[in-house]
A and B are shown apart, each in its own frame.
Chain A
């Protein structure tokens, strides 16, 4: 792991309608980690991701990607939104959605061509969805839709991946497939940040973790900080018991 900082968040405060949902967050994410963001529902995990991506404007603080503002760095960052954030009844096919991953590097007006199509097909293959390429997206299962979103991000071929609950509603097989891809990304030196809900699998899947509940509770290597103390601080109840059942 290099010492370079992929994402640095400084004094970030975000509010919806005056209600603060992120409070004074400081965060330095080293390049090359596979990091989980954990915290209860409504903790502001999605909001943190969206603030890093410059989708939501903070009321205070700043975010830097490799030392520069997001605006200048967007081609280095790929995003997997929460699956429920889009209408899957939209009239389009799986391949079409994955092709959208190439739009950023194409820029304005230019249309995707053979090269982009090839990249999209490769990404579909990687997530095991090639045979569904012409399938209408509403006809895909939840796990398949999640794979499509992952493939769309893979096409971007970025250095940083931000994923919002990529394991939500997927079966065990898909979860294995996805985590293998994430580990591969890390092996290739990418920085991967994942909003994660299943606390049991954190030590197995991730090497870095951030505890979040409006404020940042802790951030660091899983082996150092993934403990009952931080879990309790984040979730507000004694998590030792819950984890063991």
Chain B
């Protein structure tokens, strides 16, 4: 299937439509909630939670003996939550830093989960095959009820987000101050963390344990580059996430052998790279351009200031002076003279230059500014 075929089929083909919708909604909720993880600098949290979910999946399978995805996800949810609260407990009760606690829980739970998976694979049970799809995800197994579940959870978290908007915002910016105002930050923290756990769990089937945290972080990190408003950032992150989901599904559907989860994550990562280079305020490219522009401006201003010092000693500020006077001045080049002329700060005729009214005014302003900053 080519990309065109995909887009012509996506509305009519049931399976394709289900998968596309699922990955889009998943991308949106991950982007939305991932913004919190990014702004709280908890980038390892998603990783720890998703890895902590793995043993839950295996245990749920062992207990129920069936591969019903909802049962397995409940197992994932429980062990994900246990992992999260252990992390909180470790940080609170011991000397360990939160990074260490996260890493510890991550490897402990993941190792245990892998052990169980190996054990299950050796069991004489035809049912076991395919449990490892939770490692890297398999979007093709999404069914309509999965998508409904995703939509409902996204809807609930959106409502909670809007209800506690002001509380979340202040918590993200300044948790101590939030406490001092009498807000229960523990409640807010648990609320937001629980939603992150839920989002991760519903994404496991599609993206898998290993890449899930990238799905959470990438759209948010990309969105941060484009805006200075929290609301816009969360909105953009949801959009980027949804786009990654749709594009990833399209690309993997049109080239049969690529699995969807990794493609979605790669596209989300591409959003990050493009954003870090091309975003106007914070992007590398524009920063570089601004740097060079500032440098050039500074050079011109230096030359102009030098001319101003010569010109101000004459009654007529536009009295012509020889270009030769400038020779001692390092900032002066033929090009900068030309540029000053283009900006109408000076006029040049033959080997003489003279300051214009506009140039005089500009130079005076420069001086005033300098005095202000020196102050």
The reply to whether the CB of A180 lies closer than 8 angstroms to some CB of chain B is no
Residues of B within 8 A of A74 (CB): 180-182
Given the interface contacts A71-B182, A91-B228, does A86 sit within 8 Å of B173 by beta carbon? yes
Q: Which residue of A lies closest to B40 (CB)?
A: A87
Residues of B within 8 A of A53 (CB): 176, 179-180
The reply to whether the CB of A103 lies closer than 8 angstroms to some CB of chain B is yes
Residues of A within 8 A of B227 (CB): 91
B167-184 interface (Cβ within 8 A of A): 167, 169-170, 172-174, 176-177, 179-183
Asked if A86 and B174 sit within 8 Å, CB to CB, the answer is yes
Q: Distance in Å from the Cβ of A159 to the closest Cβ of chain B?
A: 14
Q: How far is the CA of A106 from the CA of B229 in the complex (A)?
A: 22
Q: Distance in Å from the Cβ of B233 to the closest Cβ of chain A?
A: 5
Q: Distance in Å from the Cβ of B36 to the closest Cβ of chain A?
A: 12
Asked if A108 and B224 sit within 8 Å, CB to CB, the answer is no
Interface residue from B95, B170, B228 paired with A136 (Cβ < 8 Å): B228
Q: How far is the CA of A163 from the CA of B166 in the complex (A)?
A: 23
Q: How far is the CA of A110 from the CA of B167 in the complex (A)?
A: 10
The reply to whether the CB of B163 lies closer than 8 angstroms to some CB of chain A is yes
Q: Distance in Å from the Cβ of B312 to the closest Cβ of chain A?
A: 30
Q: How far is the CA of A112 from the CA of B39 in the complex (A)?
A: 23
The reply to whether the CB of B230 lies closer than 8 angstroms to some CB of chain A is yes
Q: How far is the CA of A90 from the CA of B230 in the complex (A)?
A: 8
Q: How many residues of B contact A (CB 8 A)?
A: 29
Residues of B within 8 A of A152 (CB): 177
Residues of A within 8 A of B119 (CB): none
Asked if A17 and B173 sit within 8 Å, CB to CB, the answer is no
Residues of A within 8 A of B170 (CB): 100, 103
Q: How far is the CA of A110 from the CA of B179 in the complex (A)?
A: 17
Given the interface contacts A81-B174, A91-B228, A100-B173, does A112 sit within 8 Å of B180 by beta carbon? no
Residues of B within 8 A of A92 (CB): 169, 173, 228-230
Residues of B within 8 A of A177 (CB): none
The reply to whether the CB of A109 lies closer than 8 angstroms to some CB of chain B is yes
Residues of B within 8 A of A244 (CB): none
Residues of A within 8 A of B181 (CB): 74, 103-104
Residues of A within 8 A of B177 (CB): 79, 81, 100, 152
Asked if A81 and B233 sit within 8 Å, CB to CB, the answer is no
The reply to whether the CB of A77 lies closer than 8 angstroms to some CB of chain B is yes
What 0/1 readout, one digit per residue, does chain B (36-75) give for beta carbons within 8 Å of chain A?
0001010000000000000000000000000000000000
Residues of A within 8 A of B182 (CB): 71, 74-75, 104
Asked if A112 and B166 sit within 8 Å, CB to CB, the answer is yes
Q: How far is the CA of A109 from the CA of B172 in the complex (A)?
A: 16
Q: Which residue of B lies closest to A17 (CB)?
A: B95
The reply to whether the CB of A111 lies closer than 8 angstroms to some CB of chain B is yes
Asked if B224 and A85 sit within 8 Å, CB to CB, the answer is no
24 contacts between A and B (CB under 8 A): A53-B176, A53-B180, A54-B179, A74-B180, A77-B180, A85-B174, A90-B172, A90-B173, A90-B230, A91-B228, A91-B230, A91-B233, A92-B230, A93-B229, A97-B173, A100-B170, A100-B174, A103-B181, A103-B183, A108-B167, A109-B167, A110-B166, A111-B166, A112-B166
Question: Given A87-B41, A92-B173, 14 other A-B contacts at CB below 8 A?
Answer: A17-B95, A79-B177, A90-B39, A91-B227, A91-B228, A91-B229, A92-B228, A92-B229, A92-B230, A93-B228, A100-B177, A104-B180, A104-B182, A110-B166
List the interface of chain B (C-beta within 8 A of A). Answer: 39, 41, 94-95, 163-167, 169-170, 172-174, 176-177, 179-183, 224, 227-230, 232-233, 375
List the interface of chain A (C-beta within 8 A of B). Answer: 17, 50, 53-55, 71, 74-75, 77, 79, 81, 85-87, 90-93, 97, 100, 103-104, 106, 108-112, 136, 152, 173
